[in-house]
Amino acid sequence: MPVELFAVLQAGPLDAVLAPFYWFLALWSDLLFVVGDATGLGFLDYRFMHRAILVGLCIGVMAPLIGTFLVHRQLALIGDALAHTAFAGVAVGLFLNGVFSLGVSPYLTAVVVAVIAALLIELISEATDAYNDVSMAIVLSTGFALGTVLISLNAGGLAVGINQYLFGNLSTVSAENAAILLVLFAVIVGTVALTRNQLLYVTFDETAAAVSGISVTWYNRVMVMLTALVVVGAMQIMGVILVAAMLVVPVAGAAQVSRSFSESLLVSVVLAELAVLLGIGASYYGEATAGGVIVLFAVGIYVVAVAIGKIQARAGDDATPELGSIESSDL
Amino acid sequence: MSALRNGESAESAESADTGVADDGRGSSGPLVELTDIEFGYTATPVVEDISLRIDPGEYVAIVGPNGSGKSTLMKLILGLLRLDEGSARLFGEPSHAFDDGARIGYVAQHASASKEMPITVREVVKMGRFPHVGFGRLSAEDHRIVDEALATVGMTDFANRRVTKLSGGQRQRAFIARALAGEADLLVLDEPTVGVDAESVDAFYDLLEALNEEGITILLIEHDLGAVTNHARRVVCLNREVYFDGPTDEFAESDALARAFGTAASFTGGSGGGRA
């Protein structure tokens, strides 16, 4: 393993890249202190909560953003598979840190491993012409198995910290990890903003997209890589096991009540943010694991959305507009 | 117009074509040119020995029984599948490398698109403009073209409806509007009227005819032999190989249909010999 690479990763350039994000974090923290003073919300007195809220807000945007493209292609489970390989990435990071006494954030190695796994899944599906649950299940279990083996290999001190990756933890979101997440967030949102037309076309109608000159293969690769990034970013709070829920549940809820695609994107982000904020608040006061509470809120919101969708379907939409005739004459 | 369909004409056509390079509608080069192609998903070929040339302004229908390779042939023409043998060219470029999507409008059997996605008719039609705008935003002009396409297929009042809530015929109109919004030189339609009500079908074929008179080349994959004989100018009858390629009226008189379908298929039977 190229030790130098990791040495470089943890040293200078990374800090230089992250510097503006640290500055932003400090600013954000100051803002929340003010908000805390004004509202009297006790949990806003802690810097770690400030970071957790910021990370949560980012997750609430990027997870449903990517999830919308996945869910409507019946790829909901890919997030789960990638989360488990990201866990292997965490284990690799911890292992390297243990053996070579480096100080690399396990989230960075998780990014690398998850992106490689994402490409692997994509290449397998290209070769076999289908995303099948079997290959997904194999990648998922391989990732998790690799993770557990690596962790047990240098057992002792390492096994202690593993819960935070499995279940997520609000209080362990360090400034560095929050900064990494902000970078991931910028990459993800930027990429989707740039390629939204192509991603939408490929999601809705792959064949027509291919005919219209869009390289379906490349956009599929971009999509799975973005998914890997989201999963690693969201893992800090949600944990490996629950991270996929944020990709799927708010999107499923939004699909119940939205008519247009842009509306469904917006609604899914709103639902996700609602779940994140309620979940973080409730978990602080209830002293429960944030990831689980957030997902429970998200599922609750989903159930409400289903009910609203049913009522909408029954109440409105009865008035069918007149179908015009096909006009070949005015060409 | 359909005389040039074998290998001997391919070479001269190609050399003529290189001269006009990228120019589209005005040029005389063939839009589609297949030379002795063969393709199979497994060792058994699905299509073989097919040479086909489609010139600008033609209205060609490809007919054949189920499993005759119609849809496969269309995918080969569009470069969605790679040939085993022979060559396929689209607008003078190898089909698989062709990427100027703005020149092709495509309407599939409606089954191909995502069924549960929340998306409105207008959003679907806007996709027709995507090859023109790339990473950019749709301009006012693009929106005008979208509105026009919606009006042409009579779906203006449905523009803000969710596609999943439409009937089969309405959905298909939306997809046709998407192809129209693309302002393509070549329209490729794969059994576009499956699930569409009879009245709309007639109007739809009239629309295709009007588009063809505008100079748009039309390639239609059809099951409905009646529709084909009433509207297309040229018929290619396919069952793994080409059984007939020529003007529609000659096709009606020939025995190609019986040979290709292997049964007593007729033009009066609506969906003819194939649909099981």
Q: Which of A220, A199, A330, A205 is nearest to B179 (CA)?
A: A205
Q: How far is A197 from chain B (nearest CA, A)?
A: 6
Residue A198: CATH number of its domain: 1.10.3470.10
Q: Does A223 reside within a domain?
A: yes
Q: Does A254 reside within a domain?
A: no
Do the Cβ atoms of A212 and B101 come within 8 Å? yes
Do the Cβ atoms of A321 and B170 come within 8 Å? no
Least confident of A201-205, A242-246, B183-187, B194-198: B194-198
Give residue B29's pLDDT. 81
Domain that holds residue A77: 3-243
Q: Does A320 reside within a domain?
A: no
pLDDT higher at A127 or B89: B89
Q: Does A256 reside within a domain?
A: no
Q: Does A319 reside within a domain?
A: no
Give pLDDT tens digits for B206-242: 888 888 998 899 999 987 787 788 888 898 888 888 8
Say if residue A25's pLDDT is above 70.
yes
To which residue do tokens 């629309």 refer?
Answer: B207
Low-confidence ranges of chain B (pLDDT < 50): 1-26, 264, 268-276
Cβ-count burial of A116 within 10 angstroms (0-12 exposed, 13-18 middle, 19+ buried)?
Answer: middle
Do the Cβ atoms of A326 and B206 come within 8 Å? yes
Give pLDDT tens digits for B44-74: 888 888 889 999 999 999 988 888 888 889 8
Q: Does A10 reside within a domain?
A: yes
**A309 in contact with B at a CB cutoff of 8 Å?**
no
Q: Which residues pair with B106 in a beta bridge?
A: B188
SS (H, E, C) chain A: CCHHHHHHHHCHHHHHHHHHHHHHHHHHHHHHHHHHHHHCCHHHHCHHHHHHHHHHHHHHHHHHHHHHHHHCCCCCCHHHHHHHHHHHHHHHHHHHHHHHCCCCCHHHHHHHHHHHHHHHHHHHHHHHCCCCHHHHHHHHHHHHHHHHHHHHHCCCHHHHCHHHHHHCCCCCCCHHHHHHHHHHHHHHHHHHHHHHHHHHHHHHCHHHHHHCCCCHHHHHHHHHHHHHHHHHHHHHHHHHHHHHHHHHHHHHHHHHHCCCHHHHHHHHHHHHHHHHHHHHHHHHHHCCCHHHHHHHHHHHHHHHHHHHHHHHHHHCCCCCCCCCCCCCCCC
**A202 in contact with B at a CB cutoff of 8 Å?**
no
Q: Report domain extents, chain B.
A: 7-261
Percentage with pLDDT > 70 across chain A? 89
Do the Cβ atoms of A331 and B211 come within 8 Å? yes
Q: Using CB atoms, pick whichever of A198, A261, A327 lies closest to residue B118.
A: A261
Do the Cβ atoms of A205 and B113 come within 8 Å? yes
Do the Cβ atoms of A260 and B127 come within 8 Å? no
Q: Where is B38: in which H helix or E strand?
A: strand B32-39
Say if residue A318's pLDDT is above 80.
no
pLDDT higher at A317 or A201: A201
B7-261: CATH number: 3.40.50.300
Question: Which strands sit side by side in the sheet containing B85-90, from one edge to the other?
Answer: B47-54, B32-39, B85-90, B93-94
Domain count, chain A: 1
| Chain B residue with minimum CA distance to A70 | B117
Q: What count of Cα atoms within 13 Å lies in the side-chain half-sphere of residue A115?
A: 12
When pLDDT is averaged across residues A11-19 and rounded to a whole number, the result is 70
* Mutate: best of A323, A325, A329, A330, partner B, most B CBs <10 A: A323
